[in-house]
Amino acid sequence: MRVWTRGRSAAVVALLLVQVSFAGPPQHKRIRTGSEADINSIGNRKVGHGPNFYSLDREITLGSQLARKVDRSAKFIDDPLVNEYVNRIGQNLVRDSDARLPFTFKVIDSEEVDAFALPGGFLYVNRGLILLADEEAELAGVLAHEIAHVCARHGTRNSTRSEITRVATMSLIFLGPGGWAGYAIFTGLKVGVPLTFLKFSRSAESEADYLGLQYMYKAGYDPNAFITFFERIASETSPGKFATMFSSHPPTRNRISAIQMEIATILPARDRYIVTTSEFDVIKSRLLRGEQDKRADWDNSRPKLRTRTEPDANDTAKPDR
């Protein structure tokens, strides 16, 4: 397998120059040991602490119940090479994260650009998102962001918050009131997962950006790839192509600036970063081929229609019977 790396990119240098001229050099404030800014303590930090009614075990049980719903309804990519690859990239990132539970990764056969993580470490990525990525580092950035939501326990903390405010019991989340209004209905998936586990506040999204960027950096990837992918998503205009992941919190200028600031202040420049691998290209072409084969199957399965040809002169001469 070939691995492409690149040195510190011109974009970062340009950013540093901009900061020098407008705001002075990046602030290398003293980083508190064990804080979320301390990348040397990844894996030993108190990420995800805060009021939470769910123990880790209970979160895993809840996540596996929700995952079963998704698994029953979603159509998955069955190419073992694709699955093995995405799982390997994901597990590498998990090893360089604050995760305290095991993760599973699955690829949904949908052209929508989306990825989501359920509480308890059940992560899903759509074919459409992998195909939109240009480099392995871009895919790794999205996976790292989703891993960060799980590490920070955003789903169960969200749910705890809403339970506190509603003084509700667990069963109320699933059974009422409001029926399906509070559920995410994935396009192509006839499954309801309570939104409380999937839609996060702006501050939770920022935290997932912040932590996810550290995880991809620690795994050796170029963190700038997260920005390039964000910008590509922002420039995509096809309606309905983007789902859960970007609908409530689109990749805004503010998010991008916060990421640039993080790279400049707490992620020391490395000589080389992983940008992409030959394997990533192979996986993409297999996904693309699968897509084309499906389209061809669809075309072949449709009834063959031929436009009625104009009758020739001899035919018209014949009388109708």
Residues with a catalytic annotation lie at 146, 209
Residues facing 273 on adjacent strands: 6
Nearest residue to 121 via CA among 84, 95, 153:
153
| Tokens representing residue 56 in the block | 């880790």
- Residue closer to Zn ion by CB (options 208, 287) is 208
Q: Report in angstroms how near the CB of residue 184 gets to Zn ion at its nearest.
A: 13
Q: Report in angstroms how near the CB of residue 236 gets to Zn ion at its nearest.
A: 17
* CA pair distance 102, 67, nearest whole angstrom: 14
* CA pair distance 132, 54, nearest whole angstrom: 36
- Residue closer to Zn ion by CB (options 76, 246) is 246
Nearest residue to 155 via CA among 74, 245, 52:
52
- Residue closer to Zn ion by CB (options 233, 275) is 233
* CA pair distance 212, 201, nearest whole angstrom: 16
Q: Report in angstroms how near the CB of residue 212 gets to Zn ion at its nearest.
A: 8
Residue number with the shortest CB distance to Zn ion?
Answer: 208
- Residue closer to Zn ion by CB (options 9, 103) is 103
Residues found near Zn ion in the complex (CB under 5 A): 205, 208
- Residue closer to Zn ion by CB (options 208, 275) is 208
Q: Report in angstroms how near the CB of residue 121 gets to Zn ion at its nearest.
A: 15
Q: Which amino acid, one-letter code, is at 152?
A: A
**4-14: buried (b, 16+ CB within 10 Å) or exposed (e) per residue?**
eeeeebeebee
| Tokens representing residue 199 in the block | 């839609």
Q: Are 111 and 128 in contact (CB under 8 A)?
A: yes
Q: Report in angstroms how near the CB of residue 146 gets to Zn ion at its nearest.
A: 7
* CA pair distance 300, 172, nearest whole angstrom: 48
